[in-house]
């Protein structure tokens, strides 16, 4: 919980206006009470790539051409994250685009073309589990995100991994620096 709202709910509220359809992926049986559909991993407990593969399969089944991914432990990600990822991907012949802020790659903030699923499925079958390794499997580009005043320390992808991180995020929110979820992007 961060200021009375779960991290998953915060991320979902921030992501929903950026996409046509939002699914919340999970890799375990923990119940979620969100107003969004839940997409279970096909390979529970097998790492973040398993969630991406479930998303890519669902996207293809539903006729979507792209899959955007977000991480719930980074609840201050940009309101235009998908727009920036799409701009970088569109300007290339790459199959995937990942967010970069400064010297740090944010692998869980990505936009992938649905067509890259077979290559990633094959890599998964051969042991790949991280998103970091996808860059070795499919052509990828980066979308550069500058510092943001909408997150603690200006880090648009501020990641909450510890109680100390949670406390810092809570103090930052208490100062009223967070903007409400953005409007739906075209």
From CA 79, how far away is CA 183, in angstroms rounded?
A: 8
β-pairing verdict for 96-101 and 140-144: parallel
pLDDT digits (tens, 9 = 90+) for 132-154: 888 889 999 999 998 877 788 88
* H or E segment and range at residue 122: helix 117-125
Mean pLDDT value across residues 115-132: 91
Element (H, E) at 23: strand 23-26
Encoded tokens for 114: 């649905």
Distance of alpha carbon 27 from alpha carbon 183, whole angstroms = 29
Q: Is 78 helix (H, G, I), strand (E, B) or coil?
A: coil
What CATH code is assigned to 7-174?
Answer: 3.90.550.10
Q: What is the mean pLDDT of residues 47-68?
A: 89
Q: List, for residues 62-75, the tens digit of each pLDDT value.
A: 899 999 999 888 98
pLDDT of 177 above 70: no
Instruction: Identify the pLDDT of residue 164.
Output: 94
Q: What is the pLDDT, as a whole number, of residue 182?
A: 45
Give CA–CA dist 70/28, Å, rounded. 17
Q: Measure Cα distances from 126 to 27, 121, 131, 133 in Å.
A: 20, 9, 14, 12
Question: Do 184 and 17 contact (CB within 8 A), yes or no?
Answer: yes
**Residue 184: count of CB within 10 angstroms of its CB:** 10
The pLDDT of residue 160: 92
What is the spatial distance between Cα 87 and Cα 150, in angstroms, rounded to a whole number?
21
Shortest CA distance to 10 belongs to which of 51, 67, 71, 101?
Answer: 71
Helix (H) or strand (E) holding 82: helix 81-90
């Amino acid at each position: 919980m961060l200021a009375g709202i779960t991290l998953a709910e915060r991320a979902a509220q921030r992501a929903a206006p950026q996409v046509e359809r939002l699914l919340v992926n999970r890799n375990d049986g923990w119940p979620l009470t969100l107003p969004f559909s839940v997409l279970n991993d096909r390979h529970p407990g097998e790492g973040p790539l398993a969630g991406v593969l479930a998303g890519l399969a669902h996207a293809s089944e539903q006729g979507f051409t792209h899959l955007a991914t977000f991480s719930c432990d980074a609840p201050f990600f940009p309101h235009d994250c998908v727009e920036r990822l799409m701009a970088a991907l569109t300007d290339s012949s790459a199959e995937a685009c990942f967010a970069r802020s400064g010297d740090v790659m944010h692998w869980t903030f990505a936009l992938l073309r649905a067509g890259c699923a077979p290559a990633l499925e094959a890599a998964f079958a051969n042991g790949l589990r991280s998103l970091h390794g996808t860059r070795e499997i499919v052509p990828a580009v980066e979308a550069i995100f500058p510092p943001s005043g909408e997150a603690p320390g200006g880090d648009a992808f501020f990641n909450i991994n510890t109680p100390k991180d949670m406390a810092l995020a809570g103090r930052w929110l208490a100062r009223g620096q967070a903007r409400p979820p953005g409007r739906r992007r075209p």
